[in-house]
Structure 1
């Protein structure tokens, strides 16, 4: 009978111990979360010695810009017969960019750090369809640039005296990086001229030292806390980061905001799903269609409408006039006018917008806020229209926002960095989670089994006594 008591007592003790183990596992959950949060918050601060600062100060993973140029197939027909232009994209022509580390990194007393982003491009033949000397028939940048700024009679005189037309034959290298244009008195002109040897910034961003929720947020760009391109407080706001990282512990219900100097404005991206990137769970954020929607659909975009004539009284969706920012009449859109008004793609034959190939996205690790992969896809367009004074435009019937080139700028964390990331963060979080779950599971099972066994033994003992 003493043995039976010892058995019951042991089972009761086992049940209590199991309950304590399960409770300990439950207690570890907030404790573990606090440990993770403390570690991440420490390493996410932009100051020497932290993981975030090492990534911030170095050149990082290679960035690539792939370019597809729109080769005009019926240039003579457009000029002489008023045909709609027909194009075929040529590419990719790939360049390595952002291979230079940030310069003039300077810490300031208000918990910000400033820096310059040097620009450079190196052609990558192995990732291209041909040499950058390949020639394409493209819109004449000089003519399109002068169309809205010069008297048309003067422009026609200059075009005839320099033998210029609406379209021209140029090499990929010339179109992208610049060439001497006789129409513009031999000035250099190119879609991305000037680029090599230039800088973006200076940027000033918060370090997160005093408030981790502000880490990487832009304080100033070009020494200004707001833009001056849009003549409107809302559109001139500089919101978010530069998209290379965000404050840690993302909430997928909240959008991410970032500023892009390429499009001279801030935008937001929304959560679209989770993905596996080399064994790391990341949140994918995409630009929503309303980003470049017409003011009719998105009233917030009214202050981005600069030309009511070209945009059809601000009802045209899908393009952003960045002329005031670039100093040259340029329109930015998504490739092939994705999410744009039908008028845009119908004005030029040969376009085929695709959500899969032409959308912009960021893959962000949600705990740290680090962007581990992204694809920024933009299209550069220029405009021309009818003119009774310009011979080459006398058969043109309507204003046309014409695609010149679209780009896909990408970067992905390399395997070495991904392995380090998994070792330093993911594996530790997984270990802690597994320990918590293991303690709760084992403790709960032990508690229940011992309690049930104790009841069984007690009932058995009662039956023996009655017998």
Structure 2
């Protein structure tokens, strides 16, 4: 009988121990969450010694800009017969960019830090369809620019310069010339789609470090020493919202959009959660630009203050094009998504050969939700210019309508490499997973021991009662 009592007592003790283990596992949930939050908050601050600072000071993953150029197939037919231009996409021509670390880094007592982003591009032939010396037939930048910027009553001056130089509406240029610059005989200066680029810098930026408030980490405090823009002449459109998209505040809520400012398009935009993905064993949230980003003010009233040139935008009813002349030294440049994705049908009807695709032409960010770090991204933009009919300029006399003409589109991409992914998982994700494993193990083991011992104690007690 004493043995049986000891057995029951032992089982009861085991049940109690199991309950204590389960309770400990339950207690570790809020405690563990606090540990995780504390660890992430510490490592997300932009200051020397943190994981965020290591990734912020210089891009660990290589950043590439791929370019596709629009090669005009019927240049003579457009000029001589008024044909609708037909283009063929040629690319990619790939360059390594953002390989230079941030410069002029200065920390301030108000928990902000300022810096500049040096620009540079190195051609990568292994990731390109051909050399930079490949020749393409493209829009003549100066002719189109002169048409857009010089009043019509002075078009006779443009006609004289075109005749003197022997230029036309289209021209043959190498990839390198078109992208990075060439000497133009009409303008008597260098021009190019991205000229100047090398040896320039974006900024200076001033951002919050998150030291006093982690929810503000990476938010842009000012750009070019101003907290607002001056391009759009409107308080709403001139706001600088969010970060530069390289990182966001930790502990993302997928129901809330992310905001970021892009100097390439001179405005702030938002991105919305579209789904979760696996990136080298790390769960990331994918955020994409909504279709309404470049919608016409008729469909998205918030875009009204971005509508400047009513001729270009068909009295602000045209979707898909952003006039950025005010932030490009009045150069007649218009930004869109590649192949006029989400744009009005008019755009793809005016230029044949375009095939917009959500998969290939949309912009997205893959952000790790706990830290807020952007671990992979694809920024896709298209550069366009405009030309139209003229009674004076010979090469434009047969043109039937105003045309937003695509020059090139770019895909800027980066993704963390295997080494960085392994370090990220070891230093942060691994610790979080280990803590969660311990919590689950204690809860599961404790609950199982508690239930089994309790059941066994009841069985033993019942048998003893039966024998007695």
| Whole-angstrom distance in 1 between the partners of 2:351 and 2:203 | 36
Other-structure match for 1:160: 163
User: By how many angstroms is 1:298 displaced?
Assistant: 0.9
User: By how many angstroms is 1:60 displaced?
Assistant: 2.5
Pair 1:34-2:34 in alignment: yes
Is the CA contact 1:59–1:102 (under 8 Å) kept in the aligned structure 2? no
User: By how many angstroms is 1:32 displaced?
Assistant: 0.9
User: By how many angstroms is 1:144 displaced?
Assistant: 1.1
What are the residue-to-residue correspondences of 1:29-178 with 2, within 5 Å? 29-150=29-150, 151-178=154-181
User: By how many angstroms is 1:3 displaced?
Assistant: 2.1
After superposition, give the CA deviation of every residue in 1:390-442 in whole Å (9 maximum; x if it has no partner): 11111111111000000000111111111110110111111111110010001
1:315 paired residue among 302, 317, 332: 317
Helix, strand or coil for the counterpart of 2:318?
coil
More displaced, 307-316 or 204-213? 307-316
Q: What value does the CA root-mean-square deviation take over the aligned residues?
A: 1.0
Pair 1:447-2:447 in alignment: no
User: By how many angstroms is 1:457 displaced?
Assistant: 1.8
User: By how many angstroms is 1:109 displaced?
Assistant: 1.3
User: By how many angstroms is 1:2 displaced?
Assistant: 2.3
Other-structure match for 2:11: 11
| Whole-angstrom distance in 1 between the partners of 2:55 and 2:8 | 60
Q: TM-score, normalised by structure 1?
A: 0.98
After superposition, give the CA deviation of every residue in 1:180-200 in whole Å (9 maximum; x if it has no partner): 11121x111100000000010
1:200 paired residue among 179, 183, 202: 202
User: By how many angstroms is 1:461 displaced?
Assistant: 2.2
| Whole-angstrom distance in 2 between the partners of 1:272 and 1:5 | 61
| Whole-angstrom distance in 2 between the partners of 1:59 and 1:272 | 25
Pair 1:397-2:408 in alignment: no
Other-structure match for 2:365: 362
What are the residue-to-residue correspondences of 1:402-441 with 2, within 5 Å? 402-441=405-444
| Whole-angstrom distance in 1 between the partners of 2:416 and 2:276 | 17
| Whole-angstrom distance in 1 between the partners of 2:59 and 2:2 | 75
Helix, strand or coil for the counterpart of 1:420?
helix
Helix, strand or coil for the counterpart of 2:105?
strand
Other-structure match for 1:349: 352
User: By how many angstroms is 1:274 displaced?
Assistant: 0.9
Helix, strand or coil for the counterpart of 1:251?
coil
Gaps of 5+ in 1: none
User: By how many angstroms is 1:458 displaced?
Assistant: 2.1
Other-structure match for 2:343: 340
Other-structure match for 1:214: 216
User: By how many angstroms is 1:59 displaced?
Assistant: 4.2
Helix, strand or coil for the counterpart of 1:259?
strand
Other-structure match for 1:245: 247
Other-structure match for 1:183: 186
Q: TM-score, normalised by structure 2?
A: 0.98
2:270 paired residue among 263, 268, 285: 268
Pair 1:329-2:335 in alignment: no
After superposition, give the CA deviation of every residue in 1:205-232 in whole Å (9 maximum; x if it has no partner): 0011111110110000000100000010
| Whole-angstrom distance in 2 between the partners of 1:428 and 1:51 | 14
